[in-house]
Structure 1
Amino acid sequence: MEKLTRCFMSVLLLSAVLSSGLTEEKFFGEGGTLELGPYFSGKIDTVIWKLNNNLVAEWVKSISDLTYYDVFVNRTNLDKITGTLEIRNMSSADSGEYRVEINNKVLPESYNVKVIKEVTQPVVFLQPLVSKQCNLLCEGNTEGAEPVTYSWKMGEGEWMDGEKIRIITNDKETQSIETFSCRMKNPISEKQTDPIPNPFYRENPADSELWIKLLGPVMGSLVILSLLCVVVFLMWRKRESVRKLICPFLIRKDDGEDYDDDYENVT
């Protein structure tokens, strides 16, 4: 019995911890509109919204009308039926933890609101450019715009998640890519660079390599053909010497008489 009681209490304690720790992160742009809706169903008689334990808006059906506090006056709206809170013209000062109390009960969920800037237009720098590899740096002002993620696109391909710096190497795969593009993105905006030329790009690299492979045999054949032509030419120039060397028993008749043959046997 004691063990069963301890187990039951542990389950209750775990449930309480999980329910009290439900926090939803929300991002909004500067100058934008915040809208937070509580997870509540049923009739609402009282609503109180707080930011970091400071009052934002309050409504008690039986006592008072809607009341907005401090910097939230004239730019806030509270829906009495749903309990939804709306704040216009948001600034970084409106960031923080928002909690709501409905019917005198603080709801377990809270909202961690962050007001951020849009990302700036990024640019890509090459650093340093060497024969084997280089770094592509996606640069942009991220102050007040975090969290920022980076993506890269090769040529006309799909965007792929990456880092701020991308290392490219001078290999066959990279040589076939004509351009690179970078994109910066945060929860409220995204911007991308214009495509930049790939410093290692080679047009039709496969054809170029094929020509290199064929060039060796072709040059070898040309050299052999040239040597053969030289030999034939020299033999023609030295034909008499060659004739005497090959057929020393034949002599040429040069006495002016008509013969059917140019040569006769010497006995």
Structure 2
Amino acid sequence: MKRFRRIMIVVAMVMASCTMASAQCSFRNTAFKSGEFLSYNLYYNWKFVWVKAGTASMYTVESTYKGKSAYRSSLTTRGNNKVDNMFVLRDTLLCYSSKELEPLYFRKGAREGKRYTVDEVFYSYPGGKPHLRCHRQRNDGSHLWKNLTPGNCVFDMMNIFMRARSFSSANWKKGHVVDFPIADGKGTTPARLRFNGTTKVKADNGKKYRCVELSYLEYEDRKWKEIVRFYVTDDQNHVPIRLDMFLKFGSAKAFLTSMKGVRNPISSLVK
């Protein structure tokens, strides 16, 4: 289940190649507005039986960061007491982005069993070029700091999610692949997105949606390994409806239970 927090990376990868081709780290927002709230049920496959493992929720509001207008978005995942004997999942993610969707700040606090770590990424743009200050607080309380000045725009899992929801995969063909780096407290990591086409998915709210299907892969042991397969609404909102997570010790799924305060009509709803 620890890979669940990575789902925002996956959702965010849509059209990531376009962001990396530009030196400008700003983008227009067409997908969300202040007050949007998304909630999910989490399920874990335990000895060939699917059990409800907990919930997740994401909330976005208008705020300020260092005196400037910004969006603040948070994601929380909570395992329930029934599965705490298998694993303990208590994750909280927070990000700030400018109104032009430039990354400003990212924080991830993750508790898995008895282990607790904190990742932070601080962004600045001296001379119009991105500069990252990455921070990792390890489980033993020690700290790791790293400064990066990449040649292109870099995004963490939350900020890229906020940005990429305004992208479009309309011109992608099945099998299309996009490579993309993601930042965390230790630095940047290579990842890959593969477009699998469109399909229909039923959410835990009892409704069915036309969705774009994509796979998120990471390079491990000299090969690309699928980590998450996810489905987002095939409309301007690009709301994640279902996520299939392939873990080291089993598999997990997440299904949307409700969406509130969305910006655009849900044209992907199947009647």
Q: TM-score, normalised by structure 1?
A: 0.22
Return the structure number with greater helix share: 1
Bigger radius of gyration: 1
